[in-house]
Amino acid sequence: MIKLIYLTIKKKIKKICLKVYYIMIPVIGDDNTEKIKNIILKKVRKKYRPKLTRLKDYKRLAEIAKTDRQFKVHFGCGARILKDWINIDTLYAPLLDDYAEKNFDKTLLGDKNDIFIIDFRDGQLPFFDKTVAAIFSEDFAEHLSQKEFIVFLAETHRILKSGGVNRISTPDLIASMKKNSDFRKGFNGVFTNEWNKYRHVNILTKNYLEELAGLAGYSKIIFQDKNKSESSLMPLDTRPREDREISEQIYCDLIK
């Protein structure tokens, strides 16, 4: 609900700014108008973007990060809260517990004490450099903007130990388009459910993922099959579900 209100406000402000932008161009010129627009948008984003991080969870994780344990971090956990992992998401809904017990191995599930309501977009995570042994996420990357995904790659690379693995499972844009689109039909032939139905923001391709991961500093990018990883610490992959085939999913180990 909070996110919906934020998006509505953001959309209206953008519309107003755009109208003012085109009115001002003939008056003060392109460059000056662009500078003013950027200043306004920056202040609006800072004021109206909701902070989703729960401060007490951030402090709790900061205390845990000081301890000498093998850290394994699960981003975008949703209902699948993994036991012995630090599960990070922006929402915990107790009603999802029943769903989790029906769809995942109960013996591997943690509880509410294993989830931390933290939004990595709010700032640096409270881990020291090179202290995390494994990172796991599935159907998470496609919900990040291009900027957010690059920040995610950089921050996970910072906290990961040398030789550690950041496991990413995410839809494959090329495979999805090849299977569902008929580009000969032009506009009407493009499969848009990736954005319109699933609300994906930045759907990756293997080449794009490999380039960005290399840019962030990862030494090896290895594309895998489902449930195969260079790290023995990784949990089993549960995606995709019935909405897509395995061939439409990217499974990738990013190695520091």
Please state the rounded mean pLDDT for residues 84-105. 86
- Cα radius of gyration (the chain): 20
Crossing angle for the helix pair 146-159 and 206-216, to the nearest 10 degrees: 50
Which sequence spans correspond to the domains of the chain? 2-48, 55-255
State the CATH architecture for 55-255: 3-Layer(aba) Sandwich (3.40)
Residue 81 has pLDDT above 60, yes or no: yes
Kind plus residue range of the DSSP H or E element containing 246: none
For residue range 58-70, list pLDDT tens digits in order. Answer: 999 999 999 999 9
Predicted local distance difference test score (pLDDT) of residue 123: 95
- For 5, the enclosing helix (H) or strand (E) is helix 2-28
* CA torsion angle 74 77 80 81 (round to 10): 60
Angle between helices 2-28 and 30-48 (to 10 degrees): 160
Instruction: Give residue 17's pLDDT.
Output: 63
E-state strands within the chain: 71-75, 86-89, 115-117, 132-138, 160-171, 220-223, 249-255
Output the pLDDT for position 206: 98
Q: pLDDT tens, 163-218?
A: 999 999 999 999 999 999 999 999 999 999 999 999 999 999 999 999 999 999 99
Q: What is the pTM of this model?
A: 0.82
pLDDT confidence of residue 102? 84
